[in-house]
A and B are shown apart, each in its own frame.
Chain A
């Protein structure tokens, strides 16, 4: 379980997050929604240690994260899939995957790799290809697969639907749903595409200008017309 309490963060004079409190429950998908600039990406960057909070607590299953360096997060079971092109294009598909496995510490076995290529067969087919040759959807699968290599308990997903065709988005969200159901993974999903996100999430949090304006079960949010019109744009 990931709990944020009174989190504030910003860049210089700009405040990006103000007193944000939310919980991502175990074995659930929690969607963080909001328009561009609402502070969603900053939220994930702050949780994973890429950005330092000004104040507030971050707690992952009893461990305080707010002073932990980003590179230690994989060992604590937290994996952050960054927005957009998070693949290292100069490395091959397999090298990207191995790198994900190394984050946990120790060596990467072929069975670790096989587990991921079973989930994403296309990655197995292209394992020797440079990641730069993958399509947008394949790249998104690669970054998710790479994050899973570290066997995380909490997965942070930043805009996985960005720039992808609806069919691929559905495929990826379906996979995430399966992982949560079958492996007990917890997911904190940041999305601008609220409709798709709420269709897969258990719980939703809406951010506006760095503040939490709604926090409710996903179907409740999807049913709230006023909120949808005001903040979610559908």
Chain B
């Protein structure tokens, strides 16, 4: 084996020195008393409009906490972004790269595909994976999916919430008997995930359901809407994504189906979904876990202190308070509060991913605490536990008036009791398939 000569050694030492020096100078590098949020963001590509809003809101909230409070109990929050363009392989690359930084608190990719690809990795690396409002439904069962948190809303709860809303609008769930609902879904695993749930809900409440697929990306829907017009449904549930949503609204207008009879799901509820549809979107209603608008105290504070100091993340200030921006802010609140709760148990220092996971499993924000955080009316509450990683989030419905979203319902609870057995059936099958030991929530709570 050749021995390295002194010149080689000095070059290596110089390179090592330069590397360490660069690392120390990197902005946002996690050091002592810093908690790091790796962001697999997407600011270019087909879904950049959603990505810039969500990650912008998330960063704005972290900035607010740092500027206003000096971090969480003195622990500074840091982050950096890795561009995924919403592509799974890029998201996984980002994961491999970013996970090596110390003090990783949680992963928040806002992408079903990337989240699915990371599930095994986060279990191995013992860091929580947050899939707010999305992700695989059975990860709600924290007994099996210890590190995955579909906070606030999973796809099944979303479906139940929509049916509950339609029932309330018609004068009670019993009035749904004999009604006809069409679900227009995106031709992807995401779009198809709720097919069995709508069947189940139809059987329970006595309405008939027809589920119609729109092939990706959904920029042509003439035949689907002509068929819908022939079916003459009472409501159409729009389970879309991206360009499919405005095209659905425009094509509905084209065939004469009224927009106020179309109810959008949680990924069909943003300004980006309705603005391109113009007047065709007037009267369209969609589910949400967080209201839009900038009138909430936390939004006011962000506008004043973060944007006022020129540190806001959105390029266009008009987007403050938009649906994706507010989702990012709510996601920021949930992440930060999980860290705060975990610090109460483990100490006011940089926490490990597993400790932050504990924080998420004890994330209980009742309406009073939500109000104290300046988010009353922005979102309702959350109550996460070892067994329930979704956290009983409530939903509300907003109607587009041509210029802005307007809340048109109370906070509605999905039918969790109906959904839980199906979720458990799926999660236990996953556990058996992957050899996962199912956790005992009672025993874990007792040991805490």
Same assembly: no
A residues with a Cβ closer than 8 A to B are none
Tell me the B residues contacting A by CB distance below 8 Å. Answer: none
